[in-house]
Structure 1
Amino acid sequence: MITSKNCVKSKKAHYMIFLIVLLCGVLSSLGIYFESANHIENDEKFSSMTFTRQLDDELQQYSSYASAIASLMQSTREQITPEHFAHFAQGLSAPSSVGFYFAQYVPSNKRTEYESSQKNILGSDFTIHPEGDRKEYLPIALGYPDKLSYGSDILSPLHKYLGAVKAARSSLTYTLSEPMIVSFPGWAESEFSDTFVIRLPVYLPVGLRAGKMTDSSGFHGIAGVYFRIDALLNSSGALNSRDLLYRIADVTSKSSPAWFSNSGNVSETTWNDGEYNTDYLSFAGRQWRIDTLYSANARPNISWGYVISPFIFFMVLACILAFYTRKFSLIYHSALAASTQRLEVDELTGLLSRYRVQQVLNELITDCKKEDKWLATLVLDLDHFKTINDAFGHEVGDKLLAKVAQRLTASLPNEAIIGYLGGDAFLAIVTEDDAQDMVKLKELVKEVILQISQSYFVDSRTLNIGCSIGVALAPEFGSDAITLIKNADMAVYQAKNSGRATYHFYDGEMGKKLVRNVRIESRLRHALANEEIELHFQPKVDIVTERCVGMEALLRWNDEELGAVSPAEFIPLAEQTGIILPLGEWVIEQALKHIVEWQEQGICVPPIAINCSAAQLKRVDFLPKLLDLLDRYKVDPGLLEIEVTESILIEDAEGCAELLRQISRLGIKLAIDDFGTGYSSLSYLKDLPFDYIKIDQVFIRDIIEDHNHAALTHAIIVLSHNLNLKVIAEGITNMDQLIMLQEFGCDIGQGYFFSKALGANSMGTDPMILALNQQDSL
């Protein structure tokens, strides 16, 4: 029998179930709300981090246009017509909002001849303006897509930006203008300083100056690329987030920033009230400050229908469960699982979404701290993915990303956590118990790079793509997910700078090192322009007679700001930034100058060995320039030796082989430098005209203590002698090393045991050089 009391309890139970289920709906909606807000916040932070990098990438692309124009002017002997220039500019595939020009150097005595030539080419009147007699002129000669103001002399005292033009002319690289108010043909009028010009001086090699207008140093003109900041922002894709507010200023002058771009003309009050990020971008002698801020908090961007749907769902369930309590559990759990699955998994790749993998990373960091473990965060960034996306479309790109995700999952251990960060970036988390597993981790990273770099078959196309990986370890280099991912992202950026298809581990000094590298690059350009670098010369000694038989030219740089900078530090930076090309030419010319000076002083010096980088040897004008210098200084080619590393033989074996044969036919001796540390191959020892092999000092340093190093050194000497090659041992520091090398039959030695590197002025007083001259006079 059901009593009134039982009825009351039944009604209370009904309401209790209804309230509990309804509360579950409220909590589910709140949970989704906070997850969505956290997801949007993480997206905003990531977008702010990439905004500056995207601008920098696009500026680098614009600078490549100027470089292409300069190369055209340097490589073409005939006079370039506007039609030829327009056809060439179209081939650069630049955005339509970017313009190009070339300003031709004209000395005063050639003005009339030049104006007459231009009139014939243009088929119309042409004069250099403004009028007036000047020592030299720099009129606009070519332009695209507009002819600009042909004949306008940007070297005129009346030119508004004369100082910037002069600075660009004297530089050895790109220069970026300050913000300007300029309206080029076809452009809408602007009231703000929002236009920029990238200028690159064009210097002609000696062999191309005949018939060309140049000054005494070979200056032929200035290649320019002009654009507005809005065009740069659009072409860089930096504005993918509509809610991202930004303002950009030129802060090269420390006195006050020159603001030249503000999204939507946001008021100063908005910036003062909001929390914004500030980054700095250094490019071509200018520094920009970039502030980013989001227009609103996460709330307006949340899909409220998606957030409220669990509440409505649970409210319906609450009514039904008043009668069907038993069925409630199954319905509730299936719906909750589906909802959770949509939140946590990326639909494109099937991997964890960005905000979910960040959440998991935070949890794992906390667990590792408690359990005294460490974890590795791997940020994987695909190399040249944008090229495939642009060439075949986003649909093919999305399919390729899905295949990369599958291959990444197969390459990593089962317990690894893998997520998709967006774009072409992935995140993997690997947890380890033992610090000795670091070796295993490095092997794992190499294997991942190898597997990801294999070919893919997408829509009947075979696609090839590589990847670079940055690794950051926790808790040492990050106690939260955002910091750890940022550091890993910095490491992957370093990996890309190292040549892509490789990996890099973040360390605490990386940030400082990047700052120092930027400083070294800037100071090195200054030192080269002002001849603040010196050549020193280290003797090479016959091991049997202990007579000086040669010298190696070595760079020494003592900067007034940085102090003494080791070649091991600035040479790799010079190779990465392209400074190695003018630096290498300077070294060859300085060596020849010193040979002439010593001969004039009556000093007999042995052949001078010069290191040539792969970048130098790849230049088509390397041999012509070398011949020109030998002819200019009247130096016997037999007094010059060229040392190359094994890497150039691997990169371009066929082209390099022909160049080396031509050099050898001149009488210049050739040596393989650092033998044994690269991809050594017997084929080029047999087929190429090398005279010497230099054994790297890594082997010589431990030759006494390490039996393996001694055996390898002996084997290299025997092999070289069988191939009629002489052997030079670097880094000899003591008598024991010398005795062992003598026993092995080594020919020549070099190192502090014999002599340190000598300054050019020390040749007349050095005992080894004096002894050499005395022997030669007998």
Structure 2
Amino acid sequence: MDSIKRYDKNMKAHYYVFFVVFLCGLAISYFLYMGALKQVATEQKNTSAYFTEKLTNQLNQYKSGLTSVVALMESSESLVSPERFARFVQSLKGASYLHVYFAQYVSADDKVAYEAQSKTMLGRRSYAIYPVGDRAEYMPLALAYPDKILYGYDILSPQYRDHKSVAQSRNSFSIQLSEPTFTPFLESSDRVANNFVLRAPVYLSADSNLQATADAVGFYGVVGAYFSVDELLRKVVPLIDKDLFYRLADVTNNSPVWFADSAVGKGWKEGDFDSHYLNIAGRKWRVDTQYISGLKAHLPWFFIVSPLIVFTLLGLFLSSYMRGLSRTSQSLWRILNKRIEVDELTGLLTRYQIQQELNVLIEGCKGRNRKIAVMMLNLDHFKTINDAFGHEVGDALLIKVSERLASILPENTLAGYLGGDAFLVLFTQPEKRPLPRLDAISKDFIHKISQSYYVDGLTLDIGCSIGVALYPEFGSDAVTLVKNADMAVYQAKSAGRATYYFYDGEMGRRFARNVRIETRLRRAIQDEKLELHFQPKVDLVSEHCVGMEALLRWHDEELGSVSPAEFIPIAEQTGIILPLGDWVFEQAFKHMQEWKQQGINVPPIAINCSAAQLKRSDFLSKLLVLLDTYDIDPSLLEIEVTESILIEDAATCAELLNQMSRLGMKLAIDDFGTGYSSLSYLKDLPFDCVKIDLVFIRDVIENESHAALTKAIISLSHNLGLKVVAEGISHVDQLHLLREYGCDIGQGYLFSKALGATSMISDPMIVALNQQEKDQSDNTPD
């Protein structure tokens, strides 16, 4: 019965396959449809915005033309003749389809004189201002182009339908656009008010020859320009997509007055059209647009439907032949498995497959006394290339590296791509033969992988670092071996890159301890479990204390006493050095304030600064706030920096050091002689002293080279006006030799170990220093 059910299920399986494939095609087509619809809607919106922009530009041209006419009337020293007016309007750019006129202000007292003047200028004896009747003011049409209108028509008369708008324009001092109206002066059979008038007042200056014709404030008349919407659209519509409906409305009063609609007899459904607004000369217009044929007519239907057609055909094909194509099914499974096994980009084994192969090799080597070497290759500075040239170039480079790696692999070796810029190579010890020389292979790999690559017209140079872990010594399973090889490659990168490193047990313990130190150090800062001790610096001639260096001490409940030489590098690598440095400064200043309150005078305190601290833009401002908070004189602070920061960012560092020096702080180069030791730092930067590293002092008696270097550093520093501090003095013979060389200051266990803050009051050197200062004070005459 079960076999029959399974048979029935197999018989129906092709229907399921067709249904699933069809749904996939339907889903893809749907998403393509939605994307294309959104794109077409965006295109329609952009076309609408473009149409509105062109309308605005044309209206602005009309305004510009009207402004030019106003300037003509205001600047003329005599009456402008109709011929001159016509020539000027014809010369205006973009003024085609624009009907321009000038209506001159005439007072009741000047009416007779104006009519007589106009009769002469126009050559018309019958000229008179009309409509007839006595009024306080008149504004007859004096000039016009291109319309042949009757001169003398008074647009201030109540018979003129827009006389109120004219009065408003007179007092506006700016261009005003009318609401939709009929043709201002000529008879029109239009049923829709689709004309507009632009009006602007003309005011004469006080020194104008025509001032006598103006009113008391210099008003001379009104320049007007009227146009129809049809004429406006004839300028705009040819510039846009022909497949576009549009309609226009004046919405200045929030009640739309429609004056143009190209979609005659068509409905405007909300959501199918786009609306834009434009403001021109005091009026607000609304512009609606939509495609004539609708959004869906613009969709690329073939592109949208193609996935559905293709997937439907594919579903039919698969469902028709599924039961009879067992070999094809097996082939498909092999293709799928290959994709799981082989990385598509590099052609090497995938991360999953290389780990599976490693597990198989481990099983094959168990109990047979055979070794496996797991070698991890990590490209150096690959991220820089990826960021600079893009992922496409990065992928192309990975392909080139993979091809080169595959070409140099020894026999019976497997290689896989782990992702990013990491590769894994597996070596298995042959039967009855030792493993090949892994150090020689590593060097050869580094040399050959690090050659130039030509990618997309670029010549790229990239190196690699290698980490190796051996089975069974340092891992009995694939996960552990890969993890240990990764630790080893990290160590290789830390050692300067382009090198190799073999994992050992000590490395694992060291990594674990480093992680533990990082975790406990963060907790120690938070819980204030660290301490500052202070080691005296002694004048080698008088043997008096002349300064102190703040030194960190840490005793952890779990780790015990941890040396600064161990936890400071970890703090710098993990970023903990920043909060740690802030803590050191604040604690040092707090102790200095406490000693001051106890009446203890201490010499300047030296504090080490890391490169990360000095690179912070707010370093100096924070330091000054702390000095002010604890009332510490900057001259009591000495900042010690290493040469590495001067190499990394010389310009910024020089500016910062100069600022600190100007504030009175002392500056010292720490560990001089162990870094780059550029003489320009001593010559150009405001250092006060040089500290010779204890590496030289420790062997200064036995090692002639160290003695010669020490003597040279002291001599050079003195010639540059710098004092010299020797660290790590622990024997009298070292002291005698340094005195002979002329060294100024010494520091080390020969004089004193580092003192806790609470023991400062009883320390003999500090007591002697305070007594010395007291004696000097007593001997100073009043």
Higher Rg: 2
Give TM-score scaled by structure 2 length: 0.49
Give TM-score scaled by structure 1 length: 0.49
